């Protein structure tokens, strides 16, 4: 994504979407086409701008349904947002032609596709705008990108959130690493300062509790996953920008692909599940390993109790979207379990996940 065009560093990918809509002057009375298979943060920026989200169907392989989309276009339709689900590409050339023919802005949602290429060009190079989420690929707790291959974004103003935010961004990233037993030398060096920090925080919270009734707490400025209009111009922290721009890109891509291949090999052909993407195209760097479960409700709880780190995308759709609009999206939101293929996962951890899935599936059958 760093090679895709003019870019601005922002707090989150959803903030980047809000800025893209603002830059394109999409607002009251306009319509934006969004997939039925979505997370809430894809819809909130559209509503924030005063535009109307119009949902379209997707196919079982997560490609977007252009025939259905065409039937939903009106004189008010201004833009089409198309996500590269889990890091696997849409037909960007076909979408580009479709948008040009209907005079629509093409917003390329690369929240799952920071790395990789399509026909030798980086993800994010094909849309009028593209958005990305750095924190989904790097060891950071904040960070999004707004990118455009054909439009100048230099006049979009962003600003630092201040020293407290900058320090918190770095400390949170280190604490996450320590929680997962990474960076052993740094963990030893920072052990006493972090213990002191936790002690002082506990003292401060206790003092507040003793001073009267509970007070409303402000949302955390690092680690807040949803859209917040107050953060729309907040710049990605300096720590996160340094990590994002200086990390070894080739190594990240190679390790993620290798980890995906390991999970694919270990879970292909297992009764009760199937990989959503049974092949890994050469230029794809996956966000996660999506696995389709035949009986998701019987599997999810036991896997969680084992401590397996799984999530489901699109589990809670936008309330105003009709439930019957897209049965495919409804099924995918239930059945697709995402397993991490993060570049720092070790082989014993990957094999433990594979064994946990196999054993759980065997136990419930």
Tens of pLDDT, residue by residue over 320-342, are: 999 899 999 999 999 999 999 99
Single out the residue in 247, 272, 299 at which a domain terminates.
247
Single out the residue in 203, 231, 247 at which a domain terminates.
247
Long-range contacts of 330-336 (CB under 8 A, 24+ apart): 332/37, 332/60, 332/62, 332/292, 333/37, 334/296, 334/297, 335/292, 335/293, 335/294, 335/296, 336/276, 336/290, 336/291, 336/292, 336/293, 336/312
Domain that holds residue 326: 249-364
| Rounded Cα gap, residues 356 and 365, in angstroms | 14
- Return the CATH number at 295: 3.90.1150.10
Identify whether residues 115 and 34 lie together within a single domain: yes
Question: Which residue, among 154, 132, 169, 176, has the nearest Cα to 309 in the 3D structure?
Answer: 176
Query: Residue 311's beta-bridge partner residues?
Result: 338
Lookup result for tokens 């959803």: 14
Identify whether residues 176 and 319 lie together within a single domain: no
Total H helices, total E strands in the chain:
11, 12
| Rounded Cα gap, residues 265 and 315, in angstroms | 27
DSSP string, 264-300: HHHHTT-TTEEESSSS--TT---SEEEEEESSHHHHH
Q: Give the phi and the psi of residue 6 in degrees, each rounded to 5.
A: -60, 135
Identify whether residues 259 and 308 lie together within a single domain: yes
Identify whether residues 122 and 265 lie together within a single domain: no
Which tokens belong to 85?
């689900």
- Edge-first strand order for the sheet with 77-83 is 6-10, 144-148, 129-133, 105-110, 77-83, 31-35, 52-56
- Does position 218 have pLDDT exceeding 50, yes or no? no
Identify whether residues 232 and 292 lie together within a single domain: no
Single out the residue in 228, 247, 266 at which a domain terminates.
247
Element (H, E) at 61: none
- Return the CATH number at 16: 3.40.640.10
| Rounded Cα gap, residues 289 and 353, in angstroms | 11
Question: Which residue, among 349, 338, 361, has the nearest Cα to 269 in the 3D structure?
Answer: 361
Identify whether residues 33 and 140 lie together within a single domain: yes
Identify whether residues 224 and 326 lie together within a single domain: no
Identify whether residues 142 and 253 lie together within a single domain: no
Q: For residue 326, what are the CA distances in angstroms to 39, 238, 330, 332?
A: 15, 41, 7, 10
| Rounded Cα gap, residues 144 and 138, in angstroms | 11
Identify whether residues 197 and 235 lie together within a single domain: yes
**pLDDT tens column, 49-103:** 999 999 999 999 999 999 999 999 999 999 999 999 999 999 999 999 999 999 9
In this prediction, residues 270-282 reach a mean pLDDT of: 96
- Does position 193 have pLDDT exceeding 90, yes or no? no
Work out how many domains the chain is built from and give that number: 2
**pLDDT tens column, 142-182:** 999 999 999 999 999 999 999 999 999 999 999 888 888 88
Q: Higher-confidence residue: 202 or 280?
A: 280
- Phi-psi group of 291: left, alpha or beta (phi > 0 → left; psi -120 to 50 → alpha; rest → beta): beta
Question: Which residue, among 117, 125, 144, has the nearest Cα to 249 in the 3D structure?
Answer: 117
Identify whether residues 107 and 175 lie together within a single domain: yes
Helix residue spans in the chain (DSSP H):
13-23, 40-48, 66-71, 92-101, 163-179, 184-210, 238-246, 249-267, 296-306, 327-335, 347-364
- Does position 236 have pLDDT exceeding 60, yes or no? yes
Residue 359: what pLDDT?
96
Identify whether residues 23 and 123 lie together within a single domain: yes
Identify whether residues 314 and 227 lie together within a single domain: no
206: confidence class by pLDDT, cuts 50, 70, 90: confident
Which tokens belong to 88?
């696997």
In this prediction, residues 272-299 reach a mean pLDDT of: 97
| Rounded Cα gap, residues 70 and 127, in angstroms | 18
């Amino acid at each position: 994504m760093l090679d895709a065009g003019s870019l601005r560093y922002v707090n989150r990918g959803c903030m980047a979407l809000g800025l893209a809509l603002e830059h394109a002057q999409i607002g009251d009375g306009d319509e934006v086409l969004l997939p039925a298979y979505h997370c809430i943060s894809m819809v909130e920026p559209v509503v924030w701008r005063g535009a109307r989200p119009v949902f379209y169907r997707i196919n079982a392989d997560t490609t977007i349904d252009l025939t259905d989309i065409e039937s939903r276009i009106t004189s008010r339709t201004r833009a089409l947002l198309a996500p590269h689900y889990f890091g696997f590409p849409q037909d960007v050339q076909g979408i580009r032609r479709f948008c040009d023919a209907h005079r629509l802005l093409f917003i390329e949602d690369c929240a799952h596709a920071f790395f990789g290429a399509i026909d030798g060009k980086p993800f994010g190079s094909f849309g009028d705008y593209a958005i990305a989420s750095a924190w989904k690929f790097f060891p950071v707790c904040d960070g999004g990108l707004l990118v455009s291959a054909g439009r100048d974004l230099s006049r979009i103003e962003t600003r630092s959130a201040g020293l407290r935010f900058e320090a918190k961004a770095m400390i949170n990233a280190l604490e996450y690493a320590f929680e997962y037993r990474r960076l052993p030398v740094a963990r030893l060096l920072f052990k006493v300062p972090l213990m002191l920090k936790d002690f002082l925080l506990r003292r401060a919270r206790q003092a507040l509790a003793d001073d009267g009734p509970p007070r409303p707490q402000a949302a955390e400025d690092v680690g807040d996953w949803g859209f917040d209009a107050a953060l729309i111009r907040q710049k990605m922290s300096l720590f996160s920008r340094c990590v994002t721009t200086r990390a070894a890109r080739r190594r990240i891509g190679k390790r993620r692909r290798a980890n995906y291949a390991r999970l694919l090999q270990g879970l292909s052909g297992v009764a009760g599940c199937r990989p959503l993407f049974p092949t890994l195209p050469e230029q794809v760097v996956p966000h996660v390993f999506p696995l389709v479960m035949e009986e998701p409700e019987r599997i999810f709880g036991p896997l969680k109790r084992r401590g397996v780190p799984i999530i489901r995308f699109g589990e809670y759709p936008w309330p105003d979207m009709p439930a019957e609009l897209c049965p495919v999206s409804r099924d995918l939101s239930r059945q697709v379990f995402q397993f991490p293929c993060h570049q720092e996962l070790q082989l014993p951890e990957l094999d433990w996940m594979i064994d946990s899935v196999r054993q759980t599936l065997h136990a419930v059958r």
